[in-house]
Amino acid sequence: MALSTVTNRTFSLALIVDDFKQITKVGLTLSVVFSSVMGYLLGADIVSIKELLVLGIGGYFTVGASNIFNQIIERDLDKQMQRTANRPIASGRMPVNMALAIASTCAIFGIATLYYLNPKTAMFGAISIFLYTCVYTPLKTITPLAVFAGAFPGAIPFMLGWVAATNNFGIEPGTLFMIQFFWQFPHFWAIGWKLHDQYTKAGFKMLPTGKRDKATALQIIMYTLWMILASVFPVTGLTGSLHLSIPAAVIIFILGVIMLLYAFRLYRKRDDKSARALMLASVSYISLMQIIYVIDKFIS
C-alpha cells in the first residue's frame, strides 16, 4: 500500500513537471534564453556567472509566462489542431484558473528577476510579454500581419542580453534586434507553410498571402536577404562597440546564403518538405550566427 502511494505521488509529480514543461514550451523557451545569453556575452566586459544565471532564470519565466498566456487565450483553437490538442490547457488537464495563476506568477517572478540585473532589462521583458500576449496572439486569427507584430517580441531576446550586461540601449543592441527581427519571417513562414492546413482549420492567418504560393515564397526570400545584410552589417564598423571581423562576417554570410538557397528551393518546389528544410536551416542559422559572433568577440 505504501509502495503504491509513493509510486502514485512520483507519477503525479512527473506529470506536473511534464505539464509545466509543456505550458512553458521548454524547448522554445530555452532557445530564447540561449539568444539572451549570447547577447549578454557580446555586451559584457567581464562575464559574471551570477548575472548569467539570473538572466537565464528571469528569461525562462518571462518567456514561459508569455507562452502560458498564449495557450490560455488560444485553448479552444488549440483543440482543433493535432499538434496542440494534447496541451495541458487545451486538453482540460489543467484548469484555466490554475494556468492563469501560474502565468501571472511566472510573469511577476521573471520581471522581478530581470529587474535585479537592471530596470531596462525588466522593462524590455515586460514589453515582450505584453506584445506577445496582447498584440501578436489576438492578431493571429485576424490578419497575417500578426507575424510582423510577433517579430517584435521575438527579436527582443538577443538584444535583451546586451542590455542586461550593459544597462544601455543604443546602436549595438538595436543591431542585434534587427538581425533577429528579420530572421523571424522566413522562420515562422516556413512553419506556417508546413502547418498551413492545421492553422487554417483553427482559423490562424500565418502566411502573408494566406496561401502556399510563389508570392509567399518570394517574401521569404526577401526577408532572408535583409537578415543576411543585417547579420554582417557590424563588419562595417558602424555599430559602435559591436564588432565583427571580416573572417567571421564571411562565415556568417556563407551560412546566410545556404539558408537563402533553401528559401529558393521552397520557391521552386512549394512543398512541405522544402518548408521543413528551410525551418531547420533557419534554426541552425540563428544559433550558429550567434555563436560565431561570441567566438569572434573573444578571439579578435
Percentage, residues of the chain above pLDDT 90: 90
Question: In this predicted model, what pLDDT tens digit does every residue of 243-274 receive, in sequence order?
Answer: 999 999 999 999 999 999 999 999 999 999 99
Mean pLDDT over residues 28-50, rounded? Answer: 96
Mean per-residue pLDDT of the chain: 94
Question: In this predicted model, what pLDDT tens digit does every residue of 183-242 receive, in sequence order?
Answer: 999 999 999 999 999 999 999 999 999 999 999 999 999 999 999 999 999 999 999 999
pLDDT at 113: 97
pLDDT at 11: 52
Output the pTM of the full model: 0.92
Q: Is the pLDDT of residue 6 over 90?
A: no
Measured in degrees and rounded to the nearest 5, phi and psi for residue 207 equal -90, 145
Question: In this predicted model, what pLDDT tens digit does every residue of 58-103 receive, in sequence order?
Answer: 999 999 999 999 999 999 999 998 888 899 999 998 999 999 999 9
Mean pLDDT over residues 5-29, rounded? Answer: 76
pLDDT at 300: 81
pLDDT at 168: 93
Question: In this predicted model, what pLDDT tens digit does every residue of 141-190 receive, in sequence order?
Answer: 999 999 999 999 999 999 999 999 999 999 999 999 999 999 999 999 99
Q: Is the pLDDT of residue 283 over 90?
A: yes
pLDDT at 13: 73
Which CATH topology does 18-169 take? Answer: Tetracycline Repressor; domain 2 (1.10.357)
Q: Where are the domains of the chain?
A: 18-169, 171-300
Report residue 7's pLDDT band, with 50, 70 and 90 as the boundaries: very low
Cβ atoms 220, 191 nearer than 8 A: no
pLDDT at 9: 45
Mean pLDDT over residues 47-58, rounded? Answer: 96
pLDDT at 3: 47
Mean pLDDT over residues 281-296, rounded? Answer: 98
Cβ atoms 293, 38 nearer than 8 A: yes
Q: Is the pLDDT of residue 290 over 60?
A: yes
Measured in degrees and rounded to the nearest 5, phi and psi for residue 84 equal -120, -5
C-alpha radius of gyration, the chain, whole number: 20
Q: What are the contacts of 273-277 at 24+ separation with CB within 8 A?
A: 275/190, 275/191, 275/193, 275/194, 275/212, 276/190, 276/194
